[in-house]
Structure 1
Amino acid sequence: MTQTRRMQVLRAVVEDYIRTQEPVGSAALIARHDLHVSSATIRKDMSALEEEGYLVQPHTSAGRVPTERGYRYFVDTLATVVPLSETQRRAIHTFLDDSVNLQDTLQRAAHLLSRFTGQVAVVASPSLSKSRLWHLELVPVSANSILAVVVTDTGRVAQHVLSVAQLPSRDHLRSLSDTVNERCGSMTLRAAAAHIRTLRYGDDLQDVRELPDMLAQAFESMADEERTHELFMSGVSTLAHQQASAQDLAPLFDALEERAVLMHLMTELSETPDVRGVGVAIGSETNTPGLIHAAVVTSGYGASESSDGVDTPTDGMHEPIAFVGSIGPTHMNYAATMASVRAVAKYLTTFLGNTGTSKTSMAS
C-alpha cells in the first residue's frame, strides 16, 4: 500500500511540475490532489522517491522536481492517451484536406502538430526503401541515355538516368516498362529489383537485354537513398520563445541541425512503438547529447502490409514507411503530445491509403 501511495505521489508531482515548471512541495500536493494523508506522510514519500531516483530537490528548502526516471515511470503508466478534442480533430481535416500534394500535406502536418503541442514538430517523407512501385516509365532523353521515372504508392516520384551503348526503340522501352509494371507492381523497390533480374525476354526485345540489370541497380540505388533532406520541421521559433527553458533547450537547437541523427532516432522509435502506438525517448534515452534535456515522441505512419514475399519479415508485421514526431522539454505534456502525434500519424496513413486514384496530382 505504501509503495502504491508513493507512486501516486510521484504521478502528482510530475503532473504539477508539467503544469507549473516550479518545484513541487508537500503543501501543494495536499491542496491539489486527494491523497488522503498528512503533509508529513507526503514529505516522507517524497524523500523516499528522491532516494530511489525518481525526484530531485534543486535547493535545500525547495520542493522536488521529476528526474528522467520519474518521467519514464509517468509515461509508462499513462493508462490511456487522452483523445483530441472535437475542435482539434476538425482542425486536422480542415487544415490538411486543402493541401495540393504530398509535400504540402507533410509541411502542413508539421505546422499543425507544432501548433497543437507548442513544440518542434518533425515529419518525414515516405521512405523510398519502404515504398512500393506503382508505375515505371522509361523515357529516351538522348542517343545513349534513358530516364527511368518511378512513381511509388505514396506518390513520390524518383528519377534515374540509365546510360546505354545503343538506344532501344520506344516500342521496346514501352514493352519493358509494361512488363515491369505488370509483374512488379506493389513490390518494394528492392524486391522489384530482385524480380527484374529474373525477367526473360523474347527475340523481339533483343535490344533491351542490357537494361534489366541497369534498371535493377537503379531501383536499389533509390531504395538506399538516405533522404535526410526530406524532413519537414516546424515550431523551432515557438519553442525558442519559451524563455524559462532557454538554457536547457539551447543544445536542442544544435541537435535539430543534425538531421541524420534525428532521422535515425525517430525512425527507430517509430518502428518500435509501445502498445499505444507511439515511441517515447526521454533525455539520455535519445543517446543524443543535445537532447539530454529534451523528450521525443514519435509515431510511424503509412504502415504497409507485406505482400511480395521477397524482402519482408516472416512474422507478417506491418512496418511504417515514415514518421511523425514532436520534440520538446522533458517537462512536456506527454499525454497531449502523444495524442497529437498519434492523431496526425493516423491522418497521414489514411491520406496515403487514398492516393491510389490521385498519385499523379500528389507527385506534381
Structure 2
Amino acid sequence: MNVEDRKLAVLRAIVEDFIATNEPVGSKAIVDRHNLGVSPATIRNDMAALEDEGLIHQPHTSAGRVPTDAGYRLFVDRLTSLKPLSQAERRAIEKFLDNAVDLDGVLRNAVRALAQLTRNVAVVQYPSLSRSRVRHLETVLLSPSRLMVVLITDTGRVEQRVVELPGAVEPDDVADLRTTLNGKLKDQRLADAPEIIADLPSTVPGHLSSLVSILTTVLLEALVEHPSERVVLAGSANLTEHSLDFPAIRPVLEALEEQVVLLRLLEQQSTASGQLLVRIGNENSYEGLHTASVVSVGYGASGISLGGVGVLGPRRMDYAHTMARVAAVARYVGDLLAEG
C-alpha cells in the first residue's frame, strides 16, 4: 500500500484500539495487533505525520497516541463500515416494539431498546405535527353541553380537547359536525390545517356554523406543538460506564435535562429519513456536549422524516456498532408508523 493508505490504516488501528481499550496506542501495539507489514519505525513515522495533521495526539510524554476529534471524523467519514445486527439483536428490537400498543409505547420501547443495544443514552423525538396529516377527527358528546374533540394523525399521535358549550346541542348535529370536519380536514397536512380551520365557519352548513365557530380555537390549539411532550429519553445511567471519558459529567447531564437541547440535536434530521448524522465533540453546538458524540437519523415513511432518533455517548464510542443500531431502530419505528 502507498504512504497515504498506510497512514489511514494506522489511524484506523489507533481509533479501533483506543475504542476497545481506552488506553493510548503505541507503535508496538499496532505492529502486534494489526498486520500492516511494516516495521515499528515506519509506524512511528506515520504516527508523527498523523500527529502533525492534527488527527492524533499524545496525552502524556512517552505514552501512545489517541485520536482527536478530527481523527474520529476522518475515521467515521472514510474508514468505518457499519457492523450488521445479529439475529439476537433484531429479535430484541422486534420484541420491544411488537409489545407497543400505541405511539407512546412505540417511542418509549424504541429508546429502551436502543439504550440497551448501544449502552449509551438514547433519545427519540415525537413525530412532528407539522409534517403529519389528519387521519381522523372524532367528536364525542359527553353531556348535552360538553363535547370532546379528538384529533388523530397518520403517525398515531392523538390530541384531545374538551369543550364547554354555551348551550345544549343535539346528537345529530354532533354527527353532522364529525362528517363535516373529516370532509374538510381528512388527509390534509397539519401545516395546512390552520388556514382550512379559519375558513370553516363560512363554509359549513348554516346549522353548524355557530358550533364550528366555538370549536375553531380549540382545533387550532390541538395543532400547536408542545416541546415538553416531544422527546423520550432512556439510558442516562449508562453514562456511569463511561466516567473516564467525561472529565466533567455535569454539563452532559444538564444537556440531557434540557428538552430544547435534545430537540436541536434531532431536528437536524428534518429533511429526509435514513441519513445518518454523526457529530463529534466540538461539532456539537451545545458547549456541554463537547466531550460527547451524537449519532442520529430521521425516521419516517416514503423518505420523509417525521422525527429523529439518536444516541449520545463518549467520543470513544464504537461508531460502526452504534450507527448501524440507530439506523435499524429508526427503520423499525418508521415501518410501524407507516403500517399504522
> TM-score, length-normalised on structure 1?
0.84
- C-alpha distance in 2 between matches for 1:222 and 1:285: 36
- C-alpha distance in 2 between matches for 1:175 and 1:4: 71
| RMSD across aligned positions (CA) | 2.5
Local SS of the residue matching 1:35:
coil
Cα distance per residue 1:150-206 (max 9 Å; x no partner): 11122221023556656654323322321221342222222233234445546xx32
Percent identity for Structure 1 against Structure 2: 42
Is 1:329 the counterpart of 2:311? The answer is no
Q: Which amino acid aligns with 1:330?
A: R
Cα distance per residue 1:251-298 (max 9 Å; x no partner): 211211111111122121x23579x62111111111111111101111
Question: 1:82-161 to 2 correspondence within 5 Å?
Answer: 82-140=83-141, 146-161=147-162
**1:208 to partner: Cα distance:** 2.6
- C-alpha distance in 2 between matches for 1:152 and 1:172: 24
- Residue of structure 1 equivalent to 2:263: 263
**1:47 to partner: Cα distance:** 1.2
Q: Which amino acid aligns with 2:19?
A: I
Q: Which amino acid aligns with 2:299?
A: Y
Question: 1:234-249 to 2 correspondence within 5 Å?
Answer: 234-249=234-249
- C-alpha distance in 2 between matches for 1:249 and 1:290: 9
Structure 1: gaps spanning 5 or more residues: 306-317, 356-364
Contact map agreement 1:249 1:329 (CA 8 A) in 2: no
Q: Residue 173 and residue 14 in structure 1: after superposition, are their counterparts in 2 closer, same or farther (change >3 A)?
A: same
Q: Residue 52 and residue 272 in structure 1: after superposition, are their counterparts in 2 closer, same or farther (change >3 A)?
A: farther
**1:233 to partner: Cα distance:** 1.5
Question: 1:194-205 to 2 correspondence within 5 Å?
Answer: 194-199=195-200, 201=203, 205=205
- C-alpha distance in 1 between matches for 2:54 and 2:213: 58
2:299 alignment partner, one of 292, 301, 308:
301
Q: How many residues align?
A: 338
Q: Residue 265 and residue 218 in structure 1: after superposition, are their counterparts in 2 closer, same or farther (change >3 A)?
A: farther
**1:132 to partner: Cα distance:** 1.6
Local SS of the residue matching 2:49:
helix
Q: Which amino acid aligns with 2:121?
A: V
Cα distance per residue 1:303-342 (max 9 Å; x no partner): 3x5xxxxxxxxxxxx4211221111000000011011111
Is 1:279 the counterpart of 2:277? The answer is yes
- C-alpha distance in 1 between matches for 2:240 and 2:80: 31
Is 1:348 the counterpart of 2:336? The answer is no
- Residue of structure 2 equivalent to 1:309: none
- Residue of structure 2 equivalent to 1:231: 231
- Residue of structure 2 equivalent to 1:222: 222
